[in-house]
Structure 1
Amino acid sequence: MPRQTPLYSAHKALGANLTDFHGFLLPLEYTTISEEHLAVRNKAGIFDLSHMGEIEVSGGDALGFIQRIITNDAQGLPDGKVLYTPICNERGGIVDDVILYRFSAERLMLVVNSANIQKVFEWLIENQTQDVAVNDLSNEYGMIAVQGPLSAPIVEKALGRDAASLKHFHFVSKKEGTACTVISRTGYTGEDGFEIYTPTSQCVSMWDRLMKVGKQAGLLPAGLGARDTLRLEAGLLLYGNDIDDSTTPLEAGIDWTVKFHKEDFIGKAVLLAQKASGVQRKLIGLELVERGIPRAEHHIFVDSNMVGKVTSGTHSPFFKKGIAMGYVEERYSKVGTPLCVDIRGKELGARVVKMPFYRLKTDRGFSTL
């Protein structure tokens, strides 16, 4: 049986269409994917992300241990800042892509994908060094995201100016009664937004507070369907689709997260060799130039020769066209390259485009309520 999140009762009251997602019962949609998607693009949406995992690493060698585990560099990361990074295995494959929160050099937190909580925890234990403690806090915290151009004023009304004024990829800890809530200016939608970690016992009250103050701004609850179309438009990777244990950060186009100047990290030697020789395949963004919806596992062709496979695809609610990500042979990865995608036995025209498909207009500024 799938597990209920702390917000299950709220979802039932809102009439959500619930689905089993990696062992958690979560909303797929409340109204329609398109309506929820566009609410996030134009106003704001609220998501239950309590299926995500939180693993704390602490102790005198916590930072040194993390430095060996991740490919990115947390050495110069200030306290109160957030870092996106892969964790790689010895073959350079991605164990998971995580968000790292640095409270101090002796206390850090990894936010991991729900399907990988146990895998990452076991990987950390397997590579654990002296003077390091690893604790899985996933059952102690729920996670709520508020995303969209009106997210900042909603968060300010609900949680205060200090939270709403955070810079991108920074976080703050706040006392909520006797409990501690962590708020970060992060997200998975391509919009401005915040992610809020609160004890499971406080999740419903936090959700209700955000829904109440966000009503005037048009805040809508949004499900997994909209979350997936939003992240795909934003060119953000989905573990299990776009990356896994067999793909490397260099192939996935996130080579900027691999810091070779570090003394050592797991997978460094293999990734250095791949950098020197060049990747054989590369993750691309593509858009259909004919009517159709690309989906994962659809084959990609050039001149009737299969050159790759779609890993994520959808009909974009914002652009009103089919978009996708997928791996192709490196020589076909250049922007503008014409391709075809086999959809139900028909090869439909497509082309390689630059990712992300959707870019936040940074000059838009932030609205007030």
Structure 2
Amino acid sequence: MVPFGGWDMPVQYTGVKAEHDAVRSRAGVFDVSHMGEFRVTGADALRFLQHLTTNDVSKLKPGRAQYNWLPGVAGGLVDDIYIYQHADGEYLLVVNASNTAKDWAHLQEHTTGFDVTLTDESDRWALLAVQGPQAESLLQPHTDVDLSTKKKNAFFPARLFDFDVWLARTGYTGEDGFEVFTDASEAETVWDKLIAIGITPAGLGARDTLRLEAGFPLYGHEFSDTIHPLSSTYTWVVKDKTHVGRGHISLEPAHRLIGLKLERVPVREGYPVKVNGQVVGHVTSGSSSPTLGHPIAMALVDSAHAGADLFEVEVRGKDHPATRMELPFYKR
């Protein structure tokens, strides 16, 4: 157990590799109840969210979810978030745990001129993420909804183990799966029932190796208040509309996020990245890849050097060769 975002979180249960492999081959469940949840309602709910985000919230319909960004007023991101539309004029925002207080203040600061009501429901919800190629088949006997009819980013009410929950076909592992929104008072029972049907409990360690293989950015590593978000491969999240921070988002980023493959030595956040001995950036996330069998990393490097094929990563004073790889490293 380690402190994370103001919570005590499990790094591992039986071991990172075993949990990682379970998600890639069968199904695992993550307790991500530390995430924050805000409800946005009112006649101007859509207009408010359009003003504060980069993606086109108007494309959402009730029962659908969307990945989005909260851009800062002076560059970088306040957070990257998911928006779930409950009904017309009613949305649920899921935000990163470490940013919950900051995001809440940011939203409140921009309510002037909008007919909206914001409700912090973070303590109401527990969130359990069931991820893996067998997630659907394992859950199906225990719910009243035909899961095969639900496409990616679907969001819908269901009965699960005789509990009223909301399910979302979303996740953060590169695998298929369903995130289970359940009342916090019922979470422990739902968790135990998920384990009882053969779903493997997984912790932060496996969550990190899975999302790294899938090329998913993590706030505080690949995104921050100061990192230009368009340095990532997620340029599609920015649509042509007026929104907070548009002037800064439209500037050309000075850095690019790239993938790196190493042969033997795992690298960590902050390690210098070089081209021909010259430092051109740094590692943002790195680990050994259980699926691929070698170390991988994401790195933020100068745009002028982002197209190079060969790099070096300095580890404890020694340079180790690295080859640029296209992101994601792994795709189901």
Q: Distance in 2 between matches of 1:178 and 1:63?
A: 33
Are 1:71 and 2:54 counterparts? yes
Aligned-residue offset at 1:208: 2.0
Contact 1:163/1:183 (<8 A) preserved = no
Aligned-residue offset at 1:77: 1.4
Q: Distance in 1 between matches of 2:286 and 2:213?
A: 10
AA at the equivalent of 2:136? A
Cα displacement string for residues 262-296 of structure 1 (whole angstroms, at most 9, x for unaligned residues): 2x101112222x1xxx32111111111x3100100
Match of 1:159 among 127, 135, 143: 143
Aligned-residue offset at 1:209: 2.1
Considering only aligned residues, what root-mean-square deviation do their CA atoms show, in Å? 1.6
Match of 2:297 among 324, 328, 342: 324
AA at the equivalent of 1:286? L
AA at the equivalent of 1:284? I
Match of 1:171 among 148, 151, 155: 155
Contact 2:228/2:253 (<8 A) preserved = no
Matched residue, 1:255: 235
Cα displacement string for residues 17-45 of structure 1 (whole angstroms, at most 9, x for unaligned residues): x2211221121101110011001001111
Are 1:80 and 2:63 counterparts? yes
Matched residue, 1:304: 277
Matched residue, 2:210: 230
Are 1:293 and 2:271 counterparts? no
Q: Residues 25-104 of structure 1 correspond to what in structure 2 (within 5 A)?
A: 25-104=8-87
Match of 2:247 among 264, 269, 290: 269
Contact 2:65/2:83 (<8 A) preserved = yes
Cα displacement string for residues 69-122 of structure 1 (whole angstroms, at most 9, x for unaligned residues): 110001121211110011001223110000100112310011000000010000
AA at the equivalent of 1:205? T
Matched residue, 1:342: 314
Which segments of 5 or more consecutive residues in structure 1 lack a partner in the other structure? 1-17, 361-369
Match of 1:139 among 123, 128, 142: 123
Q: Residue 231 of structure 2 aligns to a residue in which SS?
A: coil
Are 1:353 and 2:331 counterparts? no
TM-score normalised according to structure 1 size: 0.87
Q: Distance in 2 between matches of 1:45 and 1:177?
A: 17
AA at the equivalent of 2:256? K
Contact 1:87/1:96 (<8 A) preserved = yes
AA at the equivalent of 2:170? T
Aligned-residue offset at 1:164: 5.0
TM-score normalised according to structure 2 size: 0.96
Matched residue, 2:132: 148
Q: Distance in 2 between matches of 1:71 and 1:233?
A: 25
AA at the equivalent of 2:167? I
Counting matched residue pairs gives 331
What is the identity percentage for the equivalent residue pairs of Structure 1 and Structure 2? 39
Aligned-residue offset at 1:143: 0.4
Aligned-residue offset at 1:162: 2.9
Contact 2:260/2:296 (<8 A) preserved = yes
Q: Residue 29 of structure 1 aligns to a residue in which SS?
A: coil
AA at the equivalent of 2:191? W
AA at the equivalent of 1:128? T
Cα displacement string for residues 123-167 of structure 1 (whole angstroms, at most 9, x for unaligned residues): 000001331011110001100011011100112122234345310
AA at the equivalent of 1:19? V
Q: Residue 103 of structure 2 aligns to a residue in which SS?
A: helix
AA at the equivalent of 1:36? E
Q: Distance in 1 between matches of 2:272 and 2:248?
A: 28
Aligned-residue offset at 1:337: 1.3
After the TM superposition, which of the residue ranges 243-252 and 349-358 deviates more from structure 2? 243-252
Q: Distance in 2 between matches of 1:223 and 1:356?
A: 22
AA at the equivalent of 2:309? T
Contact 1:158/1:210 (<8 A) preserved = no
Contact 2:27/2:135 (<8 A) preserved = yes
